[in-house]
Structure 1
């Protein structure tokens, strides 16, 4: 027959008045020995990784004491109180509050478990950003620091990184701190703890919503590479590839363009998924080679040539539709 522990052997908890418990138990119609037997029968098997409900009953300088129904009060260290930076426990918790806690470790030598709220928030934050990425959502986040590679932000409490190549602004990187930027997700990898975002792609998408293929826009040359020129068209950058400058062969874009040149270009492709805008002056040439000999003529007749380009696209679309309608199936 199992031996019931004596009343003096029962651990009630560090912050519980033994006499009050004895009085309450006797008033309820059973003894302390019987209560010990019930504790043994219904003792929960808490293990790391479990999420349990608990009641906050004490806030201390280094953490909080939590009642989760174990024989000894559980402890939550200050660093585990939130995924966000907090000044004190009272910013997040208050005595008597009931909420969920994550069990971090096995019982220590005193029979005490270590708990965390931060771990629950961390798991839910990754679930949230995965959903936002799936929806291809645009989010806004504040830059809290910059480094040589880019800028740092927080998304749902997680640290995110914006590579320098995906920051689209005329400001110096250091001046971005405290700015709220529209962002798109590039990489969401919980296993590697990598959250990478793009400011450029968010701006391009916003701009793309107001642009269309065949439209003529005014831009400024911001950079020239061997393969083409980057043109600023109202806050976003489009690529004028070397093959799209003129019908005539060009050795290097530098022979035709200079940084800070203002010019008219036509949009020939909008790739929202990759955040790219492709431009052309070749399609605006009244005669092949005009961009080399008389660029102003090209700009003066840009709208007229663009209208012809749109008409050509429309005719090609209609022709393709007719061909599709003419297909018969055996």
Structure 2
């Protein structure tokens, strides 16, 4: 009898000890009426049980969809069962084992500086709650973007890339930064762009965001700025009046500043300019309707196309003498003009209003001369003196005199022969 007792004690001593916190492997023996998974712990001869709350975080999950009788499963020993009526020796937890391994993996990624993909499970006031392989993590609002974000709800349901920057498993504290990932991606994109892109290149980009002073265009991880003055040839008050976020646009590279990491872009430089349109649609002789934009001492500027203004010189306003253009024209007035000359390279357009008006009738010069001669003869007959003779010569003086070098440089003394007054 003593020998049998000794053999029994020796057999019991040979059984592996099941310790709380240890990881054990076992076979699923059954799923009981309380939705608990009964496990035969390998090498121990005892059974453990995994309650549904220790199997999954989904309270509505169907246990039979998660495990089947005969499956092999690993779990953590949480505690011994104190009641002898249950028939089980230990409470096990698969969820705790998954969390432990997730913390270990997270610690490894923190050490290696690796990127994790984390679904956003909740948006709170201070940031985003994410799931990192079963571990609850948090991305503070300041760590979401490399710029200020007004509305965090846009991230709900998304899976974001982030880096673990702080970890404390004992306090269940896991802090991540998406901004660090974006900064690294931006640095790589900047290096690529500055190596491959040159001033004058035309590329495609997507409108990322807009401000009062312009629009930021995503060129593939890097934003370039289109100033409001470079959006269109026409005047733009607000970028949002002509662009929308997400819109794909063509842009021309105006400037690359590697030191300041700035890229200057233009949308209007990729579009035909208004002066090109003017040259094509309004050659010399074209009649257009325009709007007087402003009146100056030497004429008036008339807009004939959006962004194209031409000058009506004071001499081209009317066949009548115009002393002050503002006496004839006013800003905002609609007028018909004729194109006299167009120079798109110098952005100059010469216009005429009087070219579309009928010239006033002019008396024959011979009739005018005859009248003058008759008048002179009457004065001569009445006076017959030296002064009368001089008057005849003044009236008969040539009217088409010129002061150019080609046609001579006659003076008034030459014309009237002042020695006759001696």
Map 1:253-268 onto structure 2 (within 5 A).
Answer: 266-268=257-259
Map 1:181-220 onto structure 2 (within 5 A).
Answer: 181-212=160-191
- Cα deviations by residue, 1:117-157 (Å, 9 ceiling, x for unpaired): 12221121112112222332223222111100101111111
Map 1:1-330 onto structure 2 (within 5 A).
Answer: 2=2, 40=12, 42-60=14-32, 61-68=34-41, 69-70=43-44, 72-82=46-56, 87-110=61-84, 112-168=89-145, 172-212=151-191, 234=218, 266-268=257-259
- With 151-160 and 43-52 compared, the bigger mean Cα shift is at 43-52
TM-score (norm 2): 0.43
Aligned equivalents of 1:64 and 1:221: distance in 2?
Answer: 53
- With 97-106 and 141-150 compared, the bigger mean Cα shift is at 97-106
Mapped contact 1:82–1:121 kept (Cα < 8 A): no
Mapped contact 1:214–1:268 kept (Cα < 8 A): no
Pick 1 or 2: higher relative contact order, CA cutoff 8 A, min separation 6: 1
Mapped contact 1:200–1:236 kept (Cα < 8 A): no
Aligned equivalents of 2:158 and 2:4: distance in 1?
Answer: 65
- CA shift, 1:268, in A, is 3.1
TM-score (norm 1): 0.54
Aligned equivalents of 2:63 and 2:19: distance in 1?
Answer: 25
Unpaired stretches in structure 1, ≥5 consecutive residues: 6-33, 224-230, 239-258, 270-277, 282-330
Mapped contact 2:120–2:156 kept (Cα < 8 A): yes
State the structure with more CA Rg.
2
* SS class of match (2:170): coil
RMSD of the TM alignment (CA)? Answer: 4.3
- Cα deviations by residue, 1:246-289 (Å, 9 ceiling, x for unpaired): xxxxxxxxxxxxx99xx9783437xxxxxxxx7799xxxxxxxx
How many residues end up aligned between the 2 structures?
222
Mapped contact 2:28–2:69 kept (Cα < 8 A): yes
